[in-house]
Structures are given as C-alpha cells and as structure tokens.
Structure 1
C-alpha cells in the first residue's frame, strides 16, 4: 500500500491515481493531506483526506475509468455542478474534464479501473450493462446501499496494510479485484429482472448443466463467475437467475461452497510443512479472517484444526527382493 502524508497539496496532487489535474485552495489549510492507495493490477483503490477547502479541476487519464465517492462533507461537495449526498456517486470516463468543489476539508474514496478490465466486465454483463457509462461523465444515484462498497474498500485497505503478502498472491489479488469491480458496477447499474421466454426454457437448462459440469470436472480449481460465463457462453445475470431459480442460491454462493469444499480437501491432503496460507492463496482467498469464519460455520471447525487432524499420506513401502 502506498501511504502519503503531505504538509501541503502539491505532493498530494501529483500522487493521485488515474486522473490528472490541479487544486485551487478556497479556504485556509486546517490539517495535513493524506493519501492511501491499494493497487490490484489494473484497479487502484484510493482514499484521500484533503487539508483545506478546494476546487479540483481534472481529467481522467486515457487508460482509466474512475468513480468518486465522498466519505465526509457530502453537503459541502459539488461535482460537475451538482451537490452530492450520501447516495450519489461520480463516474468519470477517460479524457473527460471534471470539477470537484469542496468548500470544507473533505475525505473521499475513488476506484480507478483500467479500460481493458471495464470493457471485459461490460462484455461479460452485456445484457445488463448501460453502454452510456463508456462515453460520458455521470453523477448517478446509487442503485443500492453504498455501505457494502465502502466496507469492502476498508477491508482491502486494512489487509493491504497488515498482510500484503496474502492480498497480493496472484489468485487472491485477482479475486479481490473482481469483487471490488462487481461492487462498483452493482452500485451504478439498476438491478432489473431478466426477461424470460418460454422458448428459452430448454436452453436455460442446458446452460445450467454446462455450469455444473464445469464445476464437477474441476473440483479443486479456484473457479470464478467469469469462468462459468465463458464456459456457458452467457451473461452473469442469466446465470444468476438460473442458479436462483433452480438451485435456490446465487452462483456466487454456490461457488463459495465449491471453493470451501476444495480448500478442505486440499487441507486434508496437505503435504508436511504446507500451511493454511499456502493453500488458501492458491484458491484466491484474500481475507483470511472472513474465510476462517465461513469455514467454521460450514464445517464446524477452524481450518487450522482440519490441518492438525488430517490423515498423513502413507509412504510407499520398499520393495523386498526374494
């Protein structure tokens, strides 16, 4: 994690991720300027605390889409001429100018996402993605409570500070990035129900069967929603509706249970010296405390207990020649 504490705004201004612009102070400086950045290979989460009331005029860098979410002084913050509140979120596209006016020192968070990752997410969710998001800056009323998005961002910040080796293992970092982007777009996109046609009933059952066959064929692999969508050649919303309709749970919950079982099998077959951290990193676990709670509620014991109670792998007996 990058952590920056500045006596004035110049260094703070230069360190901002995904945007480029200039501050003009509109009030006397009251405190230092603080910036914390968590980078997730194409996605950057940024928490800023400004030291004075400011006007910031900026432009999105060519390779990034950004969201802006005030965490304090909502009533004193104006984005693109619109006064913000606790349910509004700013969306900035590459190479478009924006202006943020905060009459008092404010705190905020942003998420900068590479164009490649945003376009990939849009393709995987083409039947629910609003294409206007790709072409212009918007101030949107959040489609759901923003608290889970902020809570997820704070968890990432804490884990990046306390246990960066866990968060930045390749599979774990990919899983954290996907979860953060999902929360961002669920906040921006309306949750409209899918339209079902009678003629599509048989096709939907085939899609569900392909998804379950993939899970059966790869019982010990760290599969994600994108893998299921690609294998079934369908969107996440279609899978979400099918899993809920036929299996009584979302595909995310089904995948979580699949991953819990896979990790338990790996723990019970662990080689001498292999740790829970080693095993979980292979399956994309980035929040170990939360995972341990899920594991205990599902299997009735902590992962460390399972590791201690595993059966030793029998050694091959030497051949005796007669």
Structure 2
C-alpha cells in the first residue's frame, strides 16, 4: 500500500495492525506521521516515521512475533536499552513492551506468524522457548542490515509492481528469507539434544558437502525447502560450504543457487504455454524481486525474460521470430 500520512498520533498509532498499545506525545509535533504497511502472506512489514518524540507501551496479539528496527537518525530506547544498528527488539506474543524516543523516530517492523517462526527455529536448531521472551537482540551490523535491506526492498518491489507478491510461491519465498534473516541475528545456543548429536562428529568430506548442498538447492528450486536452510540441511558451517563449493565450482553456494534458478526459469520460459506470464513463472521458483532477476537474466543470457517468453509463445503459434541484433 502507499504511504499514509496521518493528522495526529492517535490515528497513526491505531493504524498499526496486530498490536494493542498506547502512544503519548512528549515533544512538539510539527512533522507528519507517516506509515506504510505491506502484507505478504503471513508476514507483515511496516515502515513508520513518527511526527514527534513519544512514549509507548503495548503488546503483540496472540500467535504473532514481532521485530522493531531503528533507522538512522532515531534515538530510541525500548525495554531499557538503546536500539542501534547492531540489533533489534524481539517482541513475543502478548508480552508488554515499553519504550520512548528522544526525537521523531524512523523505524521498520516485521510481523511474523508464530508457526512459521517456530518451524524455522527448529530447523536451525534454536531454543524455541527463548523466543517467548521480549528482549533486545544484539548481533553484528551486517546481519541486522540484511533484515533492513530485505524489508526495504519488499516495499520498493511492491511499489514498482503491485502484483509482485500476488503469487503464493513469491509470498512463501519472501517469508522464508525474512524469517531466516531475523532468526540468524539471534545469538541463541543450539538445542542440547542437537548439540549432543553433533558433538564428536567427524567433518564431512568436500564431495559429500557438495552433494548434499546440490540436493538441497534442487529441492529449494522445487519449492520444497527454503534455500537459506542449506547449512542446517547439509550439516556443515557456512564457511565449509563456501570452501567446498568454491573448490568444486569456483563460486559460493548462493551464487550456484542463483545460476541454477536462472537456468530453471529459462527452461520454464522456453516451454511456456499461452496464458503464462513472467511473473507467474518466476514465482514458481520463489522469485519476488523481478527487477533484479531480469537484470541477472539479461546479463547471463543476453535477452530479457519477457523477450524469452514472447519468442517461445510466438514459436508455438508458428509466428516467425526475427533475430535480435546484438
């Protein structure tokens, strides 16, 4: 949805779904109160700009987890701690949170379905009980920046193409990416049972890491698992994965995945049927950022996805295809 500007803080606060709370203005309110929200399947993303300094207290609805990220230029304290670029506030269902801002704040929020979070946490070997405590999660700025970038990119993509997240596969792909990015910031210990199973285990041979990695990548292309689960599915660290794929293919697992996905999309475009669209075909492979995908596709195959589709449909219809000048 487009950004909405509110005349006062009450209307602004009431427009935030999924949370019951109270906001109190503590400073002069000269700036606009602006809010953008986007629902992507069972994930909600939010971008807010306060019009004044405030105090706030509130709690998420049942069966929802939440993340609050402070953007540059803000001066925000939640749960008694300053929120900077090295962390975020993790909000558990039905647990009240308190905080305040010293200046009009800018922030991002992510609203996550409980079932999705728990499923991903189990796959990552995290302690799920710790998720039910509202707390300040500190991580490295790069990991937090990944969450910010994904959230902001979702707004950009939706603005460019309002139908970008219409396909369930695109919704699932974004949800898996943002949930994994959020949980990877949490410095939680591995579950004791999982740690015990891993203790003393000999390192995997390089060929086995690659074999398992390729198998996981192919399953992710079929929509069976999220690509981001690869370290847990393979049973190797990201560093070991990078080294094994680098030795085998000269690229990291993510690059290998991107190349495989582009080739899968190319095959699907070339075998398209009337009524197929680039958006629909790409959504089958979990692509929601069509602009970036098209740029990568063009760079690799020297043709845009839309042109590839047009050629395929024209060939099926028996329409002569004019060779494109290079």
User: Is 1:181–2:190 an aligned residue pair?
Assistant: no
Q: Residue 154 of structure 1 corresponds to which residue in structure 2?
A: 152
Q: Which whole-Å deviations, capped at 9, do the CAs of 1:170-212 have from their partners, x for residues lacking one?
A: 11111111112222223334799x978564637x966764564
Report the counterpart of residue 138 of structure 1 in structure 2: 135
How do 1:252-263 residues align onto structure 2 when only pairs under 5 Å count? 252-263=254-265
Tell me how far apart the structure 2 counterparts of residues 301 and 242 of structure 1 sit (CA, whole Å): 35
Residues 161-172 of structure 1: pairs in structure 2 closer than 5 A: 161-172=159-170
1:318 — aligned with what? Answer: none
Greater mean deviation of Cα atoms: 95-104 or 243-252: 243-252
Relative to structure 2, which stretch is displaced further, 76-85 or 92-101?
76-85
CA distance in 1, matches of 2:42, 2:275: 34
Q: CA deviation at 1:228?
A: 7.4
C-alpha contact (below 8 Å) 2:68/2:107 kept by paired residues: yes
Tell me how far apart the structure 2 counterparts of residues 7 and 62 of structure 1 sit (CA, whole Å): 30
For the residue of structure 2 that corresponds to 1:201, the secondary structure is coil
Gaps in structure 1 of 5+ consecutive residues: 316-322
Secondary structure in 1 aligned to 2:4?
A: strand
Q: Which residue of 1 aligns with 2:323?
A: none
Q: Partners in 2 of 1:188 and 1:213 — Cα distance?
A: 27
> What residue ranges of structure 2 are gaps of 5+ in the alignment?
319-326
CA pair 238-277 structure 1, distance change in 2 beyond 3 A: same
Structure-2 separation of matches of 1:53 and 1:219: 45
Give me the TM-score of the superposition, normalised by structure 2.
0.80
- SS where residue 175 of structure 1 aligns? helix
Name 1:88's counterpart in structure 2.
87
TM-score by length of 1: 0.81
Instruction: Identify which range, 106-115 or 140-149, moves more after superposition.
Output: 140-149
Give the C-alpha shift of residue 38 in structure 1.
1.0
Q: 1:71 to 1:166 in 2, by over 3 A?
A: same
1:58–1:99 contact (8 Å) kept in structure 2: yes
Q: Equivalences for 1:106-255 in 2 at 5 Å?
A: 106-126=105-125, 129-131=126-128, 133-145=130-142, 146-189=144-187, 197=200, 199=202, 201=204, 209=211, 212-213=214-215, 221-222=222-223, 224-225=225-226, 235=233, 238=236, 240=238, 243-248=241-246, 249-255=251-257
Asked whether the equivalents of residues 143 and 191 of structure 1 are also in contact (C-alpha less than 8 Å), the reply is no
Cα distance in 2, alignment partners of residues 184 and 222 from structure 1? 21
Matched with 2:23 is: 23
- Seen in structure 2, the aligned counterparts of structure 1 residues 244 and 191 have a Cα distance that, compared at 3 Å, is farther
Which residue does 1:319 correspond to in 2? none
Question: 1:37: how far off?
Answer: 0.7
In structure 2, C-alpha distance between the alignment counterparts of 1:108 and 1:136, rounded to whole Å = 21
Whole-Å separation in 1 of the counterparts to 2:184 and 2:234 = 12
Q: How many Å apart are 1:79 and its aligned residue?
A: 1.1
- How far apart are the structure 2 equivalents of 1:236 and 1:191? 19
For residues 237 and 10 of structure 1, do their structure 2 counterparts lie closer, same or farther at Cα, with a shift above 3 Å needed? farther
The offset of 1:97, in angstroms, is: 1.5
Distance across 2 between alignment mates of 1:284 and 1:110: 23
Instruction: Please give the per-residue CA displacement for 1:18-55, whole angstroms capped at 9, x wherever unaligned.
Output: 32110111112112211111112221111111111110
After superposition, the C-alpha distances for 1:52-105 in whole angstroms (9 at most, x for unaligned) are 11100112222111111111443x311112223332311111121211211221
Q: Could you tell me how far apart the structure 2 residues matched to 1:21 and 1:228 are?
A: 35
* CA distance in structure 2 between the partners assigned to 1:214 and 1:70 by the alignment: 35
The alignment of Structure 1 onto Structure 2 pairs a total of residues equal to 306
